[in-house]
Amino acid sequence: MTKISLTAARDLAVRVLLASGVSEPNAEPVARGLVAAEADGLSSHGLLRLPAYADQALVGKVDGLATAVVERTATGTLRIDAKDGFAFPAIDLAVEEGAALAEQAGIAGVAIHKSHHAGVLGRHVEAAAQRGLVALAFTNSRSAIAPWGGKVPLFGTNPIAFAAPRRDRPPLVVDLSVSKVARGRVMVAHARGEPIPGDWALDAEGRPTTDAAAALAGTMLPFGDAKGAALALVVEILAAALTGSAFGFETSSMFDAEGAPPRLGQLFVFVAPRRLAGEGFADRLEMLISAVLAQPGTRLPGQRRLESRTRAEAEGIDIPPDLRADLERRAGLR
């Protein structure tokens, strides 16, 4: 592993994207998003995605010059066409305009279509919570999970993210994929040649497997069995059907430059707490959190990410030397 500061990592990522024909207004949020994932210890959504992003921009699978367009479709709803560009700039727009709308309307729904990989979904709801809003987000992704009782992947690992603002603290963030583990962790195991636990995935014949390659050819298991599979269906409906986007079984891979633009979808719901809770939301949330933490052995969701972030801000992040060399080559630095 090689150590790099967050600033240097962002700068490197921007250069790679610019060298791949991505506009500066698009390169900035993509670089920020990927490096934020690294800082939070979520390397499966970090810089290892960048070579594929860059290749996709080079061949036009993602339009690096796209400018997302917002349409106000009713007093409380926005529809964003990401124009086959990266998801990050479209999502930044969704958070900015959606947050302003929620302040005014009490609740706002924002649907993004013709979109791309959302990265760490929790980061986006966290940004909304930093503006004082409670936020929910859903995104779909390429088929990885079979419907309950079936063997062929149909739904993505389809994360659900939630954030709530806290007084004088970073927001509370819950971010969970409906697969037992994120598919990215199987990809990391595969890249490292390591086995995976036997309850993460089934192979193509529907048998449990510890082989990462067999798992990638098969189907991820949902967390919580049938209930998790039902949630995968709900997220597919919310993130794809309700945004006018491609289903997981219609989309192309996020990991190579083959095929058509992925046209994934993201759905956000932003709520101004005082409109629904009356006064006192912040105090009540702290009371609930105190009751959780009063029990020995408990911790809040998202704490590991915050600890990793603090460390990364002080010490930088570790990336594989091969990846760094690849990125530096792409950036024209070697």
* CB 90 within 8 Å of CB 115: yes
79 touches a second copy by CB under 8 A:
yes
What's the CA angle centered on 156, arms 68 and 301, to 5 degrees? 90
Minimum CB distance to a second copy smaller for 146 or for 216 = 146
CB of 10 to a second copy, least distance (A): 30
Q: Using CB under 8 A, pick the residue from 277, 308, 318, 328 that binds a second copy.
A: 277
* CB 47 within 8 Å of CB 32: no
Contacts of 81 (CB under 8 A, 6+ apart): 68, 69, 71, 113, 114
227 touches a second copy by CB under 8 A:
yes
CB of 212 to a second copy, least distance (A): 21
Query: Tell me, what DSSP letter sits at residue 10?
Result: H
CB of 36 to a second copy, least distance (A): 21
Q: Which stretch binds a second copy (CB under 8 A): 87-95, 122-130, 143-151, 306-314?
A: 143-151
Within residues 281-310, the interface with a second copy by CB under 8 A covers 281, 284-285, 287-288, 291-292, 295-299, 301
Instruction: Label residue 166 exposed, middle or buried (CB < 10 Å: 0-12, 13-18, 19+).
Output: middle
Residues that contact a second copy, how many (by CB under 8 A): 72
Q: Using CB under 8 A, pick the residue from 36, 134, 257, 264 that binds a second copy.
A: 134
Q: Which stretch binds a second copy (CB under 8 A): 60-68, 89-97, 120-128, 240-248?
A: 240-248
159 touches a second copy by CB under 8 A:
no
Q: Which stretch binds a second copy (CB under 8 A): 23-31, 49-57, 124-132, 236-244?
A: 236-244
CB of 323 to a second copy, least distance (A): 29
Within residues 103-122, the interface with a second copy by CB under 8 A covers 104-109, 111, 113
200 touches a second copy by CB under 8 A:
no
The secondary structure of 106-158, three-state, reads CEEEEEEEEECCCCCHHHHHHHHHHCCCEEEEEECCCCCECCCCCCCCCECCC
CA distance linking residue 64 with residue 86, whole number of Å: 7
Q: How many CA atoms lie within 13 A of 111 on its CB side?
A: 20
What one-letter code names the amino acid at 301?
A: P
Minimum CB distance to a second copy smaller for 55 or for 286 = 286
8 touches a second copy by CB under 8 A:
no
CB of 50 to a second copy, least distance (A): 28
Residue 103, phi then psi, degrees to nearest 5: -60, -35
